Amino acid sequence: MSEKKKDSNELLNFLMIIIGLLFIFKAVTEFLAWAGIVVPDWADTSAVQSVFGGQGAISILLGFWCLIAGIGLFREEEYALGMGLVVLSIMAVSGIMTMISWVGGSFDVAYWPNYIIIIATIVGVLGFFWLLFTYKRYD
């Protein structure tokens, strides 16, 4: 009897883990700046304080669950498919909404967390559709 080996998409899994770690790093950095413990050079303290209110909490949760889903997808776990779809859709929608707000000219090239948002949005959109079209592998 031959067993059919499941084939996970390693690239998406790695990207989810990396983005999860980046979101956690971003949230921790923003929290430290908000608390006045460490204020990095790139952080405008007032901007970090206003961003941390909602975005920081979302970043830490999104990062944590993205990390868990990425690890679960390596094992082809059924729960990871659902988590991955939810996490990727939140990344896509929140990133798209953030980028729409940049249309008025508020995009800061020097603020490195903006690039995390751009990458997460692209991975969120493409990864969501990839998981949606390949969901059969998790049966």
3 inside domain: no
pLDDT at position 37, please?
74
Q: How many domains does the chain have?
A: 1
42 inside domain: yes
User: What's the domain range around 103?
Assistant: 10-138
Q: List Cβ neighbours of 30 (8 Å cut-off, separation of 6 or more).
A: 43, 48, 51, 52, 55, 56, 59, 113
* Cβ pair 85, 25 in contact under 8 A: no
71 inside domain: yes
2 inside domain: no
pLDDT beneath 70: ranges in the chain: 1-8, 34, 38-56, 138-139
Crossing angle of helices 10-35/57-74, nearest 10°? 160
88 inside domain: yes
Stated pTM of the model: 0.75
